[in-house]
Each structure stands twice: as structure tokens, then as C-alpha cells.
């Protein structure tokens, strides 16, 4: 039973170390997911892997079919999702390559299909999203980080922006005033859709740059790529340790 899924983000389009068993093209009432679902064994656990930006990393954050992705995983019996996501660090303690296990979300996105509850309803539905992340999964990630001797940032608010452009320095100042510690583009509506389907969900966010106006240097693609590579080494060791704790 593949009840655990890993959604990969930038830097985790293919999953080294995953022993692939099969791939499955899935269609859902909401369209086609970003990529075929990859079934495999990772550190002794059966998992499903789905790269949210597609197998060729060509689907930008605002064009991802989040509903199809989440529906496909739900349809295959997934109960726990670890969502890996690249972010910019706003908090001074979240330097590039730092891995963060956020505790809260503020959604600044717009125009995305953000709910399953819109048509053919017996009655209007609202889900409790006070705590957007699953406490048990977050704790497993923190324990795994400890076991892998990684210095994680435990907690923090993930501000989700529309993208695909990066923010202005003033926008980051505003996010900071709002209480955000990291900024990324894919956290929503993914987390909320997981909640609507009753799937446990936690983020493993990796800082790949200082957010706009926070670093000494300009944000370049080269430095983002370099930090992504280094950060993903940490993520892989975190996920390996996680498999032993789940």
C-alpha cells in the first residue's frame, strides 16, 4: 500500500534513490496531474512520487493543476503527503540551503482553482484550516531532522505569492510585517486541497535564496540553482531518515 506521497518541487523533479516500480498516467475529474505518478521504494518504504512542476520542470507555479494532483493521490489511497518546496528566506535565521518545517500559511495567491467544494454540493462546505499542517507529520519531520543531524528551522509562517516573478523588496517588507518567515509560490492551494480531501500534509521547505531586499547580492538563477542543489542534499537525507520514523 503506497499511503505516503512525496510531492517534489524545484530541485526535486526526479528522485534519486527512489527504486522505481512503475509509473501510472492518471486522469481525474479535474484534468491531468503534473506528471504520471511514480510508484517506488524509498529506504524500505513504498511511496508515490509526483513532481508538481512536471517531469521536465516546465509548469510554472500559477499553472499547476493542484486539484488534479491532489485528487490523483487521494484516488490512489494516499494518506500522508510530504510536500517539498523551494522558498526564499525572509527571517534572518533562514539563510539559503536552510530547511524549514513551517507551522502556518498566509495565502496571497489569486485566480487559482482552490477548492473541490464548488459544484454539485448537498450543502455548502467549509474545512477547518486553523492549523494547516498535520502535527504528527511535522513532528516526524523534526525528529527525522534531528536523527539526520540537520539544523532545521522548526516553525514559521510560509507566505504564498502568485509568481512567477519574484517579489519586490517592499512586498517582502509587507510579508514580514504580516509575520511571514519564508516566501514561496506553490504552498497554496495545495495544502488546503489536501485538507479538503482529509489527507495529512506537511511542508519541507528549502530556502534557495534570500527573499528580495534581504541579501547582500542580487538574486541570480545561478545562485538559486547552486543553493537548490545543496539544499536538496539535506532534503534527501531528511526524507531518508523520515522513512525510518514513519
Q: How far is CA 80 from CA 133, 147, 197, 209, in A?
A: 11, 20, 11, 28
Applying CB under 6 A, does 160 fall inside the site for ligand HPA?
A: no
Alpha helices in 132-200 (DSSP H): 135-147, 169-178, 190-196
Among 37, 47, 68, 86, binds ligand HPA (CB under 6 A): 86
Among 65, 114, 161, 181, binds ligand HPA (CB under 6 A): 161
The DSSP bridge partners found for residue 158 are 105, 182
Nearer to ligand HPA among residue 18 and residue 185 (C-beta): 185
Q: Are 120 and 93 in contact (CB under 8 A)?
A: no
Nearer to ligand HPA among residue 43 and residue 59 (C-beta): 59
Binding residues with ligand HPA: total (CB under 6 A): 12
Applying CB under 6 A, does 107 fall inside the site for ligand HPA?
A: no
DSSP class of residue 9?
Answer: -
**Contact code string over 194-213 relative to ligand HPA, x by CB under 6 A:** --------------xx-x--
Among 11, 40, 51, 88, binds ligand HPA (CB under 6 A): 88
d(CA 54, CA 67): 14
Nearer to ligand HPA among residue 37 and residue 99 (C-beta): 99
Closest distance between ligand HPA and the C-beta of residue 211, in Å?
5
Closest CA to 160 of 132, 185, 179, 133: 185
Number of H helices, E strands in the chain: 5, 11
Q: How long a stretch of residues is the chain?
A: 246
Applying CB under 6 A, does 97 fall inside the site for ligand HPA?
A: no
Residues engaged in binding ligand HPA (CB under 6 A): 86-88, 161, 166-167, 183-185, 208-209, 211
Amino acid at each position: 500500500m503506497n499511503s505516503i506521497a512525496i510531492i517534489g518541487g524545484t530541485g526535486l523533479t526526479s528522485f534519486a534513490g527512489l527504486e522505481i516500480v512503475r509509473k501510472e498516467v492518471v486522469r481525474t475529474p479535474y484534468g491531468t496531474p503534473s506528471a504520471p505518478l511514480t510508484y517506488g521504494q524509498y529506504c524500505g518504504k513504498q511511496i508515490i512520487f509526483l513532481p508538481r512542476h512536471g517531469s521536465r520542470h516546465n509548469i510554472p507555479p500559477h499553472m499547476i493543476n493542484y486539484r488534479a494532483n491532489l485528487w490523483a493521490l487521494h484516488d490512489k489511497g494516499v494518506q500522508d503527503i510530504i510536500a517539498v518546496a523551494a522558498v526564499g528566506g525572509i527571517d534572518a535565521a533562514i539563510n539559503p540551503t536552510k530547511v524549514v518545517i513551517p507551522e502556518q500559511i498566509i495565502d496571497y495567491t489569486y485566480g487559482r482553482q482552490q477548492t473541490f467544494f464548488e459544484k454539485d454540493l448537498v450543502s455548502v462546505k467549509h474545512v477547518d484550516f486553523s492549523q494547516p499542517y498535520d502535527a504528527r507529520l511535522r513532528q516526524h519531520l523534526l525528529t527525522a531532522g534531528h536523527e539526520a543531524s540537520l539544523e532545521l528551522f522548526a516553525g514559521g509562517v510560509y507566505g504564498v505569492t502568485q509568481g512567477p516573478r519574484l517579489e519586490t523588496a517592499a512586498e517582502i517588507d509587507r510579508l514580514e510585517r504580516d509575520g511571514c518567515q519564508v516566501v514561496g509560490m506553490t504552498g497554496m492551494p495545495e495544502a488546503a486541497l489536501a485538507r479538503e480531501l482529509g489527507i495529512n500534509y506537511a511542508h519541507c521547505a528549502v530556502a534557495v535564496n534570500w527573499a528580495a531586499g534581504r541579501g547582500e547580492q542580487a538574486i541570480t538563477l545561478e545562485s538559486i540553482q547552486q543553493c537548490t542543489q545543496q539544499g536538496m542534499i539535506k532534503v534527501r537525507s531528511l526524507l531518508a531518515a523520515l522513512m525510518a520514523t514513519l
